[in-house]
Amino acid sequence: MCQGQSSRTSFGGAVARIHPTGTNSFSCLLQFKNGAGHSDPTILTYEFERPQLPCCKLRIHQFGDLSSSVASAGRILHSVDLMFPSAEKTAGSVILDRRLDLGVGEEGIIGRVVSMTTTATAAAAAAARGLSVLLGEGVIGWN
């Protein structure tokens, strides 16, 4: 994919497609882009194809292996809350509190598992106990 031909335009930064887990129909496209200055924070743009909730939590995990469960993806390196002011709003962006390394390596996010969870879903029993419900997961790659 990195060396091949593609009709998709490169926008720079990093991208992840969140695919549903279980029987839900959750899907999301994430784009990470750093500001122009060397210390400018990362901007996260998100677009939900089937918004089902008023808020969710994006988590970037330590490891990048989707062949096992998110529980084995290591500790959470970064976590971001995403909010939707209305049911009609399916996209948005947020300026993160720091600049993420959009590369590969110890601090880089490329190749890491990213998951979406929520405590505000129809799974009220789990939410009442303070448990997060996994909506979907993916791997962060080059954009």
Domain ranges of the chain: 14-142
Query: Residue 101 gets which letter from DSSP?
Result: B
- According to DSSP H, which parts of the chain are helical? 124-128
pLDDT single digits (tens) 61-101: 988 777 777 777 788 899 998 876 566 667 888 999 999 99
Please state the pTM of the whole predicted model: 0.78
Cα angle 76, 35, 86; round to 5:
65
Distance of CA 67 to the CA centre of its chain: 18
Reading the block at residue 27, the tokens are: 């899907």
DSSP secondary structure code for residue 66 in this structure? T
100 near 78, Cβ under 8 Å?
yes
Q: For 4-30, how does the pLDDT look when each residue is reduced to its tens digit (9 = 90+)?
A: 565 655 567 999 999 888 777 778 899
- β 14-20/76-83 pair status: unpaired
Q: Say what the pLDDT of residue 11 is.
A: 64
Higher pLDDT pick, 120 / 64: 64
Give, in words, the CATH class of 14-142: mainly beta
Which residues 6+ apart lie within 8 Å of 139 measured at CB? 16, 64, 66, 111, 112, 113, 114
In the three-class reduction of DSSP (H, G, I as helix; E, B as strand; rest coil), residue 124 is classed as helix
Q: What are phi and psi of 118, to 5 degrees?
A: -150, 155
Do 93 and 84 meet the contact criterion of CB atoms below 8 Å apart?
A: no
pLDDT class for 122, splitting at 50, 70, 90?
very low
